[in-house]
Amino acid sequence: MEYEKFVDDFSQYFSSFGLTKDKIRLLKLAMNEVKDFELPSRDETKLFQIRNYMNSDSLELNLISKNLWCKAGGSDGLLVGTLLPDWQMGWKRFCKDEFISEQIGNFFFLVTQYVCRSYQINLIAAISFTYNRICDFRGDRLWQYSLPTCEQEFIDFKNSINFKLNSRIRILQHYLEIINSLDPYVNKAIFYYIKSIDLYNKGFFEETITNLDNAIDIISQYIKRILSVPTMPRKDMIQLVAKEIQLSHQVQLNLENLYLLRCRFSSHPAQSKWWDFGEIYDGDIDILIECVQYVLLKMMQYEANNRKVSNNPDKWSNWFADNANMLFEAVWFHRLPHVIR
C-alpha cells in the first residue's frame, strides 16, 4: 500500500504537467520494475562517499561506527565516510522513454543524497551534543567510490582511522545509537535546532527563537502522527507531547515561554522594545536552547524505542519499498511554492 501510494503520487505530479495517459502508464510500469527487479539487483553493491565538514578544524575526532567512519583531516577538517545504497547513477537507459528514465534518475539521486545527509546529520547532531560545536556537511572536498569495484579505497580509509575509545567518544557513540535522521521528523528537528545555535552564535536572537520553536513544532507533529490525534491548540499539544515523552512541568513552562517569545517578537512585529530583545532575554535564550536540546534528545530516545524507519537495513531495496512515500514527501519538489517571476 505504501509503495502503491508513492507510485500514484509520483505519477500525479507529472500528470499535472500535461503528460499523456500512455506516458503516465509507462511511468507506473517503470516504477514497479524499479521495486521488483532494479533495486534488488543493486543490493550487493554500495557507494562509499567521503566529505569534509565545515567548521571542524582542530576537532580531533576519530570514529568507527555503523555506515559511518570519521577521522581528523588536518586543514580539511573532519573527513567523514558514509556507506550508501547504489542508487545514484545508472538510470540513463533504464526505460525506453528518455524523459521517464531521466526523472527516475533524478528521484533516486535525491533519495541517495537524503540517505547520505541523514548519516552525516546523525554525526553533526552528536558532535553538537558532545562537543558543543556546530559543523556543516557541505564542505569543499568530495570523494566517491563504487563497491566492491573500489573496495581497496574503502579499506584504506577505514584502516587510516586512529580510533581510540575515551569518555567523550563513548558519549558520542551513545548519541549515534539513538539518533535516526533517516526519519524525516528527526532530520527536520535537528535541522532547526542546529540552525538556531548557528544563528545565536552570530547574534540573531529573534531568528534563534523562531528556529527553536520550529524544532518543537516538528516534534509535536511527530507525536501527533504517532498517536494519530487531530490538530489541537499549541498548549494542549505541548501537554500531550510532555505526557508521551515524559517532560517535567518546568520544561512545559519553558516551551510555553518559547512560543510566547516567538509570537511577540519573531513571528510578528514587536509591540515594544524591538531594539532590546537580545539584551532583555539573553539569559532566557540560553535556558531555552538547553531546554530544546533536552526535548530533542527525549524525542530521539522515544523514536529509538518506537522505530518506524529502520536506520540500518539489511536490504536497501526492501527499505525503499517500505518508505517510498515518505522519501517522496521529503525529497521531491511537489511541496514547493510556485514563485511568480
**Domain count for the chain:** 2
Considering the domain architecture, whether residues 72 and 170 belong to the same structural domain is answered as: yes
Task: Kindly state whether residues 289 and 320 are assigned to the same domain.
Answer: no
Query: Can you tell me the distance from the alpha carbon of 341 to that of 322, in angstroms, rounded to the nearest whole number?
Result: 38
Q: Report which DSSP code applies to 74.
A: G
Same domain, 152 and 189: no
How does pLDDT run along the chain (341 residues), one tens digit per residue?
789 999 999 999 988 877 788 899 999 999 999 999 999 999 999 999 999 999 998 898 999 988 899 999 888 899 999 999 999 999 998 998 999 999 999 999 999 999 999 999 999 999 999 999 999 999 889 999 999 999 999 999 999 999 989 999 999 999 999 999 999 999 999 999 999 999 999 999 999 999 999 999 999 999 999 999 998 999 999 999 999 999 999 999 999 999 999 999 999 999 999 999 999 999 999 999 999 999 999 999 999 999 999 999 999 999 999 999 999 999 999 999 877 77
Cβ neighbors of 121 (< 8 A, separation 6 or more) are 137, 181, 187, 190, 191
Same domain, 10 and 91: yes
- pLDDT at residue 76, rounded to an integer: 82
191 and 97 in a single domain? The answer is no
Whether 235 and 319 map to the same domain: the answer is: no
Instruction: Please write down the long-range contacts of 262-265, taking CB distance under 8 Å and 24 or more positions apart.
Output: 262/209, 262/210, 262/213, 265/206, 265/209
* Residue among 202, 206, 200 at smallest CA distance from 275: 206
Instruction: Write out the DSSP string of 246-264.
Output: T--HHHHHHHHHHHHHIII
Cα–Cα–Cα angle for 88, 311, 308, rounded to 5 degrees: 115
User: Is residue 133 in a domain?
Assistant: yes
Instruction: Compute the CA torsion angle 189, 192, 197, 199 (nearest 10 deg).
Output: 180
Phi, psi of 48 (to 5 degrees): -120, 115
Task: Decide if 52 is inside a domain.
Answer: yes
CATH number of the domain that residue 262 is part of: 1.20.120.330
Query: Which of the 8 DSSP states describes residue 90?
Result: -
Contact in structure between 112 and 47 (CB atoms under 8 Å)? yes
Secondary structure (3-state) at 162: coil
Note the pLDDT of residue 16: 80
Q: Cβ distance 82 to 48 under 8 Å?
A: yes
Residues 37 and 23: their CA atoms lie apart, in Å, by: 20
**Domain co-membership, 189 together with 172:** no
Confirm whether 336 is domain-assigned: no
Residue 90 and residue 198 in one domain:
no
> Do 103 and 229 have their domain in common?
no
Are 200 and 170 within one domain?
no
**Residue 299 and residue 316 share a domain:** no
What's the Cα-to-Cα distance from 59 to each of 114, 134, 202, 214, rounded to whole Å? 25, 11, 20, 29
Looking at the fold, whether 42 and 159 belong to one and the same domain comes out as: yes
197 lies in some domain: yes
Question: For residue 64, which phi and psi values (nearest 5 degrees)?
Answer: -125, 120
186 neighbors 179 (Cβ within 8 angstroms):
yes
Residue 206 counted as domain residue:
yes
Q: What pLDDT does residue 102 have?
A: 95
In 3D space, the residue among 210, 115, 310, 264 whose CA is nearest the CA of residue 218 turns out to be: 210
What pLDDT does residue 56 have? 93
Structural domain span for residue 26: 2-180+309-331
The grid cell for 135 is: 559543523
Q: Identify which of 298, 283, 77, 122 has the alpha carbon closest to the alpha carbon of residue 200.
A: 283
Q: Is residue 321 part of a domain?
A: yes
Does the residue 241 lie in any domain? yes
Name residues whose C-beta falls within 8 Å of residue 206's C-beta, 6 or more positions apart in sequence.
Answer: 265, 266, 277
Q: How far is residue 273's CA from residue 265's CA, in Å, rounded to a whole number?
A: 9
pTM of the model: 0.95
Cell of 67: 555506515
Decide if 341 is inside a domain: no
Contact 304, 177 (CB under 8 A): yes
